[in-house]
Amino acid sequence: MIDVKRLLNHVQNYKGDLINSKERFLKSKSIMFFCITGFYS
């Protein structure tokens, strides 16, 4: 039972990391987009 709890906790942490990296990626993409559009305008 303890191993299952630890595994579930690990999976939740992994999901959180995935969501955080996804948001970071989207933010960096939008920042790049704004830089490029600002440069060309």
- The pLDDT of residue 40 is above 90: no
What whole-number distance in Å separates Cα of residue 30 and Cα of residue 38? 12
Question: Mean pLDDT for the chain?
Answer: 88
- The pLDDT of residue 27 is above 90: yes
Buried b (16+ CB within 10 A) or exposed e, 1-39: eeeeeeeeeeeeeeeeeeeeeeeeeeeeeeeeeeeeeee
Mean pLDDT confidence for 20-34: 91
- The pLDDT of residue 41 is above 70: no
What does the domain layout of the chain look like in residue ranges? 1-41
